[in-house]
Amino acid sequence: MKLITEAKFNDMRIIREADDKTKPETLIIEGIYIQADQRNGNDRIYKYDVIKPAVDKFIEEKVKNNQALEELEHPDNVVINPDRVCCRTISLEENDDHEWVGRSIVLASDPKFGIKGTPCGDIVKSLIQFGTKLGHSTRGVGEVNNNNVVTDYQLICIDTVLSPSIGIFNDSNGNRCVNGILESKDFVINTHGEICEMAYDRFEKKLKQLPVKRTAKEAKIANAVYEFLNSLI
């Protein structure tokens, strides 16, 4: 399975909920986060019968349990990094057009009320205050067939993204999208339903974490292992 990301930059609304001056201000981002049965700007299609179970599961397991955390920009893996968390998806509601309208709360600081936000949450709040356009982007794993139809899809999270620096283009609806399928890594779903990197990727990551300073013997062993793995792929 491949890591797939899809970004949407249209019709995002910023809502400030601060009617009561005795309570901290709540900053909400709202818009269409997910669409089914439409060929998107990356020329991919998510069939309704594939995407709906994935979204329903995400709502039940993550959104309703206040665990639908969003990172600022996409990482290249399936693990949520707390250091990069900026928002939390608080609702996803399906409309009649097979779309899901989402709402996210920005995890920003409010010194007046002693609330400490996340570093990336404060960045997002600052960007919003200065008029920066934001988007929301799904991150999940699945397969893409020859017709660019996504199958076997599992939604991991919905991230907050800025104007992407690569792969930008406009589709017929003016949606700015990122060509976000990571072909260099494979993922599997284990018997517990957890998404895991394939053994080679995990092992390669471990090797890269080895100390830079090595003995001559350790360096030769590491080089031999790399050569062996490269010969297999």
HSE at residue 75, side-chain half, CA atoms within 13 A, is 13
pLDDT number for residue 22: 74
> 222 vs 127, which has greater pLDDT?
127
Which range has the top average pLDDT, 10-19, 101-110, 157-166, 205-214? 101-110
Closest by Cα among 64, 69, 88, 93 to 80: 69
DSSP reduced 3-state for 161: strand
Give the chain's length.
Answer: 233
Question: How many whole angstroms from its chain centre is CA 4?
Answer: 9
Q: What is the pLDDT of residue 171?
A: 37
Give per-residue pLDDT as tens, 170-213: 333 444 333 444 444 555 555 555 555 555 555 666 666 666 66
Q: Is the pLDDT of residue 21 over 80?
A: no
Band (4; pLDDT cuts 50, 70, 90) = confident
Per-residue pLDDT tens for 108-143? Answer: 999 988 999 999 999 999 999 898 888 888 888 888
pLDDT of 103 higher than 50: yes
> For the chain, what is the mean pLDDT?
79
How far, in Å, CA of 204 to CA of 59, rounded?
A: 33
H-run or E-run covering 140: strand 135-144
Torsion of CA 87, 31, 20, 122, to 10 degrees: 30
Looking at residue 177, its pLDDT comes to: 38
